[in-house]
A and B are shown apart, each in its own frame.
Chain A
Amino acid sequence: MTLLALDNITKAYGGAPALRGVSLTVEPGEIHALMGENGAGKSTLIKILAGVVMPDTANIAIDGKAVTIDSPAQAHRLGLRFIHQEFNVVPALSVAENLFLGRPYPRRWGGLIDWPRLNATARATLERLGISHIDPAAPLSRLSLGDQMLVRISSAFLDEGGAPARLYVLDEPTAALSRSESQALFKVLAGIKASGCSILYVSHRLDEIMTICDRATVLRDGTSIDSGRLAEITHDDLVAMMIGRPVGQAYPAPAAAPGSAEMLRIADLSLGAEPFGLTVRAGEILGVAGLANAGQTKLLRTLFGDRASRARITLSGQPYRPRSPADAWRAGVAYVPAERRSEGLMLTRPIFENATLPHLAAQSLGGTWLTPGRERAATRTAGERVRLKARGPDQLAGTLSGGNQQKVVFARALAGNPRLLLLDEPTRGVDIGAKFDIYTLIRDMAAKGMGVILVSSDLPELLGMADRIAVLRGGALIGLHEAAALDQERLLNLCYGRAPAEPAATES
């Protein structure tokens, strides 16, 4: 019998419809993907399931019995468990304490906390999910981001008495995870599925969905499309459902081969391992691949003047020794950081202030007097260039969608006409439509003679965009390849340090 059946879900916010008759069914023991571009209504639908938002109309049935979900407590009673995008963790507390966050700790006489039982219960829960490498007594702050996510997810699996869990809703669980951490998570999800519980899996990552999910429901403009069994359709079919038209290419074609002029030369660069050198030609996109923390961000931060280094760097033939991000911007080096919200934008400030901040010296009179009119005009121009969808230059950056926020970061990077563009995960958390815009933009910049370094954990993105790909492992450069000579499997093997000729056999 169908575990969860939603039918005719509608919801309008102040007259603007967010959901217009959505249906979705989840079978027992199924991993069901919920997809759609930003703004398609995914979060509204999840909030309705969680009892946080009241729908205008809804037919909801669990095990064939009609139910109403009017509060988070009711959702919990019905066996629905939610694991949200934002971590709710306290880094200073231990793993076990974080598992029990918001729940009563086990007690012994006198109301004192029963620490041994707390840790034992935590360990049992982790082990049931096949997680044995995490010590329940360790402070959470000592864990990697991926392990923290696993802890966060595990907390939904604590036995609490009362209603047993039936359906877990995971919202973008892998957004901040490395590939190997994601793999660990998928193993956990497979275990849950085998136990007969179901999972509603929200993600932007098509490859993931095609690999681990059984079926998908695609939301578009507030309506829903049932994909049928994913095993029977292709990647492109799924994308077509999301964007409502057949896919062209996922990546724009390069305009021309990169020139031969050298834009950047790095020598003796040490990222905590054997020093190495790299070059980027004008018009070239150099991809950088590797597992999490293989030195990618260090590489970019060194070039951006944010990390002390003895490396010898030349930019367009001139010695380049940046000692601060300000030096880098002045030298024509622009940086798009990985964490848009914490490192990229001032969310409470208007778009134009975000876009012009690094260029204020040039955009002001004598470096001192602001010229807001000119700044707004420049921001409008830059906004059109990156196809920014906003009400105007005075809209607050925090009120934009993820994709448009990233476009503001790009508008800022491009406003100074840089020579070298440093990109760290430029399309993370960006929907497909905006992704293509950003790829087109990167191509255009390269075509104009800019050098681009593209760090990404999305291997198809690297293969689709880069001219050459440098592979980093443990801070060392372990390979530099023409992208055309690689495919996804070979690149993945290189990242793991396995010889491409003998896959899987020599895992380190």
Chain B
Amino acid sequence: MLTLLRRYGTLIGFALILAFFWANLPDTFMTARNWLNITQQLSMLMVVAAGMTIVMVMGDFDLSVGSMASLAGIVVAVLFTLDVPIWAAITLGLLVGLAGGAFNGVLVSYVGILPFVGTLATLTMFSGAGFLVSGGKTISGRAIPEAFGSFARGGLPLGEWGGVAISLPNLTIVALVIVALSWVLLEQTTFGRRLYAIGGNLEAARLAGVAVRRLKLIAFALAGTSAALAGIMYASRVASANPTQGSSLMLNAIAAVFLGSTMSENGEPRILATIVGVLILGVLDNGLTQLAVDSYVRQILVGGIIILAVAASSLTKGLKTR
């Protein structure tokens, strides 16, 4: 019974949140249009959270994803001002993420710095690099190619709903692809199994032949790349880039993974659970905005819900072992 409450408490909480908004926003909340909108708003967070899940499976985390997202958006925008083709700019932006993530990985696994300290330092470095490259300004307007901005506004037509044409946003499709790739990687490959082994007991995994250092490096590189992708998606969505636009992603991504991990048997992060975590944060944001709740109050509520979910999970865990 307690185990059930612990594992499904977060899901039940999610259902209650949905019910609350549905009751208070009967006309607008539970509509296909609103939900497609939510998935689009969430797509960047989902991509970052997927990368964060990969790192947190090993018991580490990456604080630099937010400033990496900003930096990658800036890099792509600056390349646009130099008339670099879209595909090349995006590729280079992703490579910046790969390199930055790999740098984190080297710090954590080869140099042996705690992830908290190492990625806190690179958070500052990436952020500084973003300001440096952009000159501290927002890059927008004519420098951003039309096709880059319109990608985020476009989508896959799904037909009509209540007389209105609806479509699956391109950004949502990107997020779904990333989620699918992460799921395959973590749940279906030896790579994922070994990451979970590292999270279970690093020393035992090492003695069982797991190449701990190399895997950590790869995992951080993936987290950096996913952060860069999210930053580029964001730049596409607002057709501009500024050095702080990704900054909210890091805390929300960690929160989403924590919320999700309250649903698994041993509190380990799982990608499908992370989706629920992301949805909870996104739905709260969407619903409270529609109810015209002050955004500062929203922040307090979101923080409270994270505490509630994690506390409920750890308290019931304590009761179970007693």
Interface residue ranges, A against B (CB under 8 Å): 304, 306, 324-326, 328-330, 335, 337, 342-349, 353, 357-358, 360-361, 364, 367-370, 396, 412
Contact = CB atoms under 8 A, between A and B. Distances in A.
A346 B200 contact: yes
Contact of A345 (B187, B201, B206, B210): B201
B193 interface: yes
B189 A347 contact: no
Nearest to B213: A324
A494 B191 CA distance: 48
Sorted nearest first, the 8 A-B pairs with minimum C-beta distance are A346-B200, A326-B209, A329-B209, A358-B209, A357-B208, A348-B266, A346-B201, A360-B190
Interface centre among B189, B191, B204 (most CB of A within 10 A): B204
B83 interface: no
Given A324-B211, A353-B197, A370 B189 contact: yes
B194 A360 contact: yes
Contacts of A357: 193-194, 197, 205, 208-210
Given A349-B197, A349-B200, A357-B197, A343 B207 contact: yes
Given A325-B206, A329-B209, A364 B266 contact: no
Nearest to B202: A346
Contact of A367 (B187, B190, B205): B190
Contacts, number: 76
Contacts of A345: 201, 204
A325 B200 contact: no
Which of B191, B194, B196, B209 counts the most chain A CB atoms within 10 A? B209
B193 A342 contact: no
A325 B207 CA distance: 6
Interface in B185-230: 187-194, 196-197, 200-201, 203-211
B201 A306 contact: no
B193 to A, nearest CB: 6
B243 to A, nearest CB: 39
A370 B200 contact: no
A361 B190 CA distance: 8
Nearest to A329: B209
Interface residues of B, number: 24
A364 B190 contact: yes
12 contacts: A329-B208, A345-B201, A346-B204, A348-B268, A357-B193, A357-B197, A357-B209, A364-B189, A364-B190, A368-B191, A370-B190, A370-B192
Contact of B193 (A325, A348, A353): A353
Contacts of B268: 348
B203 A360 contact: no
B318 to A, nearest CB: 15
Contact of A335 (B189, B191, B207, B211): B207
B204 A370 contact: no
Nearest to B268: A348
Contacts of B194: 357, 360
Given A326-B210, A353-B193, A370 B205 contact: no
A100 B118 CA distance: 36
A353 B205 CA distance: 11
A411 B298 CA distance: 52
Contacts of B192: 370
B190 A368 contact: yes
A133 B245 CA distance: 62
A325 B189 contact: no
A396 B201 CA distance: 13
A325 B187 CA distance: 24
A344 B266 contact: no
A54 to B, nearest CB: 13
B211 A326 contact: yes
Contacts of A324: 209, 211
B266 A368 contact: no
A345 B196 CA distance: 12
A337 B207 CA distance: 8
B191 A348 contact: no
A308 B210 CA distance: 18
B207 A306 contact: yes
Contacts of B206: 325
B190 A349 contact: no
Interface in B249-296: 265-266, 268
Given A324-B211, A329-B209, A358-B209, 19 more contacts: A325-B206, A326-B209, A335-B207, A342-B201, A343-B207, A346-B205, A347-B200, A347-B201, A348-B266, A349-B196, A349-B200, A357-B205, A357-B208, A357-B209, A367-B190, A368-B190, A368-B191, A370-B190, A370-B193
